[in-house]
Structure 1
Amino acid sequence: MQKNTPSRLLRPLLHCAAAVLIATGAGFATAAAPQVQTQVPGYYRMMLGDIEVTALYDGAIEIDTGLLKNLRDEDRDRLLARHFLQAPKVQTAVNAYLINTGDKLVLVDAGAAHLFGPSLGHVAGNLRAAGYDPAQVDVVLLTHLHGDHINGLIDADGKAVFANAEIWSAQADNDFWLDEEAAAKAAQEVQPFFKMARDAAAPYRASGRWQTFGTDRDIVPGIASVAAPGHTPGHSGYLVGSGERKLLIWGDIVHNHAVQFAQPEVAIEFDVDSEAAVATRKQIFARSAEEKLLVGGMHLPFPGIGHVRAEGEAYEWVPLEFGPVNAQSGD
């Protein structure tokens, strides 16, 4: 007599279950989940000694590669291709940096708001996503007064977004961008940029919270301005330091990482003084490489933080690796 083993007893039940699944059209594979199609919040946080640095993503915009100057088209296209980029349009990020020194909450640049299109204008939203509120910001440091760095100072009604903050800008940029007589003398096509600067500054100037500095100086403890003229007359970086490790937030030293690290003499159409901008870029590159500074760039691929390595007469961008907040502290 054949024994009823467990497998023999279960076999009819399995046949029955399979028949039901076939009859009802059911299967073991489930339907695909719907695509989410949204990105993570645009912030990246790291520690620089005991200072917390949070990169904030304002967004990205495409720029025409024809705006790059002082190189042949074939050289430009070769350098772009090395980074899997192609003329005539390339993406450039717009970044800002939030620094918590423990005593002060300091924002470097405020982004573009929505005056350059819907792909930009996310600094305030990403600041909130990072756990802060614009009302908590004590100081806003401006690298320069171009619209993609200052339009985020005000909302759609022209009111101050950073209601409790002092705003600091280089005197040379104030003298250039905020002077109505200088604006009137400017070419017609650039006059809107003068108006953007005046509009963004207006509520802070009216309340007495718009401050200026002349030369390199400490603005708040642990953060000093670094003159970097050329892109604009008062274009400035900010050196953030705690102990031996320092971060140079350099503003618009680079607009296209694929081309300008390899050929630092390449300028961009937006430079007010391209000759001075090239000289400043070479000096900042050399210093960053020699001192092994961390650097943060407003138009480097987000989060825009990394190192500069010298390669003969050229340089190479070495981005920081993603990691836990304390992994970069150096402690």
Structure 2
Amino acid sequence: MARAAASIALGVALFAAAPLSGVPLGGASALAAPPAQIKTQVPGYYRLGLGSFEVTALYDGFVDLHVGLLKGMGVEQIQSLLARMFLEHTEGVQTAVNAYLVHTGERLILVDAGSAACFGPTLGQVVANIRAAGYAPEAVDTVLLTHLHPDHVCGLLSADGSVAFPNATVWAAQEDVDYWLSEAIAEAAPEGNRPFFTMARQAVEPYQAAGRFRSFGRNDALLPGVTVIPTPGHTPGHTSYLFDSGGQKLLVWGDVVHSHSVQFRHPEVALEFDTDQDAAITARRAVFARAVEEGWRIAGAHLPFPGLGRMRAEAEGFAWVPVEFGPIRDSR
């Protein structure tokens, strides 16, 4: 019996080692070179159901955010928090720029428009990703701006300077309009900051000329299912938008957070670009607490794409819980 078993084992081993139909032992891959690497990423969009609303996250691209722009914490501690999240920061931390398209069933609303060509070749993909997601820019009827920084407004224009969303009415907070579109404030600003004012004015001018640029106050009602949530500090009129469908709520909060690895755990860390750092910290603390208390979903312009998820409180600060990839389901 033992001798028979040994013979069978030897036969199996010899069969496994033998070439099949003249194919070398290395397998079929030895016959030809593998295909070329693709070297491109998938289209930058992701969909989420919110009650009867459909939310599409849009990837505009990325910027490398230098750690020196974070204020209120020592460099070594910041680097430790980045290392904890395995983030490379030698040349700056890769930071997403996101926009959000919300189909309410009656309106197609875009929150922020991306940067177009204002900040270089790593950005400017919002319109392309709207098309990849199955929509046309012409179908957008409303654009809500969280604020008038170039990475949120330059995408209102196409490369040739024409309007990118020809059928949309564009809305921004009155405080931001009064600040960023003021030539007097621009002239008084440090020289290095003046291009921000110029880019904001240029982005909205064609919409103003067409009578499709409007401003709102902090307590104004804009659209059914959309509530204005003032979060000033990053800019004077920085605004977040709370979308509500059947009690399911999503807060699109713009630039409340720039560094997810640092500012969730330490909301007291500000950004050099904050117009009023103390006010930005106050707004961040308040919206963090409210988002946790009320269980809101969050959409963040500079959170890792798709920038969708929830927050939870922890012993030290807060934590970000990103959305899990999956099919569109009834959100609960």
TM-score normalized by structure 2? 0.91
Shift of 1:38: 1.0
Structure 2 counterpart of 1:6: none
Find the partner of 1:40 among 33, 42, 65. Answer: 42
Structure 2 counterpart of 1:238: 241
Q: Distance in 2 between matches of 1:28 and 1:239?
A: 56
Structure 2 unpaired stretches of 5+: 1-17
Find the partner of 1:134 among 127, 137, 143. Answer: 137
Structure 2 counterpart of 1:96: 99
Q: Which amino acid aligns with 1:213?
A: F
Structure 1 counterpart of 2:9: none
Query: Secondary structure in 2 aligned to 1:220?
Result: coil
Shift of 1:216: 3.3
Alignment of 1:98-247 (within 5 A): 98-247=101-250
* Aligned: 1:84 with 2:102: no
Query: Secondary structure in 2 aligned to 1:176?
Result: helix
**For residues 16 and 86 of structure 1, do their structure 2 counterparts lie closer, same or farther at Cα, with a shift above 3 Å needed?**
closer
**For residues 291 and 38 of structure 1, do their structure 2 counterparts lie closer, same or farther at Cα, with a shift above 3 Å needed?**
same
CA contact (8 A) 2:115 2:124 kept: yes
Q: Which amino acid aligns with 2:210?
A: S
CA contact (8 A) 1:288 1:308 kept: yes
CA contact (8 A) 1:77 1:86 kept: no
* Aligned: 1:52 with 2:66: no
Structure 2 counterpart of 1:5: none
Query: Secondary structure in 2 aligned to 1:37?
Result: coil
CA contact (8 A) 1:50 1:329 kept: no
Query: Secondary structure in 2 aligned to 1:197?
Result: helix
Q: Which amino acid aligns with 2:79?
A: D
CA contact (8 A) 2:67 2:75 kept: no
Q: Deviations over 1:218-270 (max 9, x none)?
A: 32111121100000000000000012210000000000000000110000001
Q: Distance in 1 between matches of 2:20 and 2:101?
A: 64
Give the number of equivalent residue pairs: 313
Q: Which amino acid aligns with 2:75?
A: D
CA contact (8 A) 2:45 2:306 kept: yes
Q: Distance in 1 between matches of 2:223 and 2:96?
A: 27
Structure 2 counterpart of 1:28: 28
Shift of 1:217: 3.2
Q: Distance in 2 between matches of 1:261 and 1:27?
A: 51
Shift of 1:177: 0.2
CA RMSD of aligned residues (A): 1.9
Q: Distance in 2 between matches of 1:15 and 1:153?
A: 63
**For residues 35 and 204 of structure 1, do their structure 2 counterparts lie closer, same or farther at Cα, with a shift above 3 Å needed?**
same
Query: Secondary structure in 2 aligned to 1:234?
Result: coil
* Aligned: 1:304 with 2:307: yes
Q: Deviations over 1:51-102 (max 9, x none)?
A: 0000000001101100000001121111111100243410110000000000
Q: Which amino acid aligns with 1:166?
A: T
Q: Distance in 2 between matches of 1:98 and 1:26?
A: 50
CA contact (8 A) 1:147 1:197 kept: yes
**For residues 206 and 309 of structure 1, do their structure 2 counterparts lie closer, same or farther at Cα, with a shift above 3 Å needed?**
same
Q: Distance in 1 between matches of 2:266 and 2:167?
A: 42
**For residues 158 and 245 of structure 1, do their structure 2 counterparts lie closer, same or farther at Cα, with a shift above 3 Å needed?**
same
Q: Distance in 1 between matches of 2:194 and 2:44?
A: 32
TM-score normalized by structure 1? 0.91
Q: Distance in 1 between matches of 2:225 and 2:104?
A: 7
Shift of 1:156: 2.3
Q: Deviations over 1:271-313 (max 9, x none)?
A: 0000000000000100011111000000000000111111135
**For residues 27 and 191 of structure 1, do their structure 2 counterparts lie closer, same or farther at Cα, with a shift above 3 Å needed?**
same
CA contact (8 A) 1:110 1:149 kept: yes
* Aligned: 1:255 with 2:258: yes
Structure 2 counterpart of 1:279: 282
**For residues 33 and 299 of structure 1, do their structure 2 counterparts lie closer, same or farther at Cα, with a shift above 3 Å needed?**
same
